[in-house]
Amino acid sequence: MSFHRWLQNLRAALTPSRGERPQRGSPWAATYRPNLEVLEGRLTPSFTWMGTFSAGPTPPYAVVTGDFNNDGTIDVATAADTFNLLPGNGDGWLWSPVPIADFPPIPPEQPADFTSDGIPDLISVNGLGGGVVVRPGRGDGTFGDPIYSGDSGHDGLVAWKTVDLNGDGRLDLVLAYSTMDMGGMGSSLLGRGDGTFGQWEDFGLGLDPRTLAIGDFDNDGRVDLLVVDSEGAPLLLHNQEGHAGHWFGARLIGTHANRSGYGAVVTATMAGRSLVRACRADGSYMSCSDARVHVGLGAATRVDSLTVRWPGGHVDTFHDLPADRYVTLRESHPAPE
């Protein structure tokens, strides 16, 4: 890669069991249990408690949300000794946690379609050795054996994101490290569209990077990187990778769903090929990324149809959208802006 320096109503917590108060001097294990609390957002800046659910057998250090079983409702997964899935019921209720995979001690990101089959896959990264593992989704909340395993050789992973860097319609991977011997390092992996990646490409990332966010800062259709360096000024890396294809971007505005459209699933179809992307701004340590949905189209010059499945279940479909531009899509509105 060539760069130039330039939830849905969920709060995760290790909560005290009801009726208990932490005792001064007591260890966490004695007063805290691995629970999740779900709170319903209101129109005012307040929440209504909906329930407390078990997060698994051991306290989680991270929580990931997404539609893991492809049923149109938000699920919750917790990362601890194992990766546990709590399927969502669509009304704020979560089913009991089910272990679905063993993972190294770095939380996986939201599910994403690395195999280009419309089914969410799962990726995890080992923060100690930089190893990447991809497990294909089966569409029912379970995942197959790893189809890709690679290692950067760097230690000190601090953040990583999935993104289509070159517009070819295949999801790529960007990782940021704060290494002991080389300072800040970045690695990029170009996806092949089948769950595997090409060779690792390294680039410098300052002295001590701590966060990684993505966004098209200059609106040229190529997604850029923003890194915060604890030892210096923030680094904005302009994506100079040559376009492998066209692109399309959309800002979502919910009317019944949340205004930012977070959690919406977008399916773009062109020339018989469908790509699935999600509207999110989270997914990286202490950072917020561009919430616009960016889709690489490859050789296609138009999007034949684009479907938005909003949180709550409403579906909008738009037809014959030109490539290489950003539009605004409002929930329940018939035409893009």
At 239-291, the pLDDT tens digits run: 987 667 899 999 999 998 888 998 899 999 998 889 999 998 877 777 889 99
Q: Which whole number is the average pLDDT over 65-81? A: 80
Size (the chain), residues:
337
- Cβ contact 122:113 at 8 Å: no
Helix (H) or strand (E) holding 30: helix 28-31
The dihedral through the CA atoms of 247, 251, 255, 259 has a sign that is positive
Is 0.75 surpassed by the pTM of this model?
Answer: yes
- Which range has the worst mean pLDDT, 75-84, 158-167, 171-180? 75-84
Side-chain half-sphere of 262: how many Cα atoms within 13 Å? 16
- The residue behind tokens 């738009």 is 318
d(CA 291, CA 283): 11
Lowest-confidence region among 117-121, 143-147, 175-179: 175-179
Q: Would you state the pLDDT for residue 120? A: 85
CA angle 284, 171, 242 (to 5 degrees): 105
The strands making up 47-54's β-sheet, listed across from edge to edge, are 10-12, 35-41, 47-54
- Specify which of 90-94, 100-104, 136-140 reaches the highest per-range mean pLDDT: 136-140
pLDDT at position 234, please? Answer: 85
124-130 mean pLDDT: 67
Position 147 scores a pLDDT of 92
Above 50 in pLDDT, residue 329? yes
Residues 6 or more apart whose CB falls under 8 angstroms from that of 123 comprise 108, 109, 112, 114, 132, 133, 134, 135, 162, 173
Report pLDDT for 31: 37
Residue 6 has pLDDT above 60, yes or no: no
Residue 331 near residue 315 (C-beta atoms within 8 A): no
Percent of the residues in the chain that have a pLDDT greater than 70, as a whole number? 84
Q: What band does 9 get if pLDDT is binned at 50, 70 and 90?
A: very low
CB within 8 A of 180, min separation 6: which ones?
A: 155, 156
As a whole number, mean pLDDT of residues 109-128 equals: 80
Q: Between 198 and 230, where is the model more confident?
A: 198
Q: Return the pLDDT at 109.
A: 60
pLDDT tens column, 196-226: 999 999 888 877 888 889 999 999 999 999 9
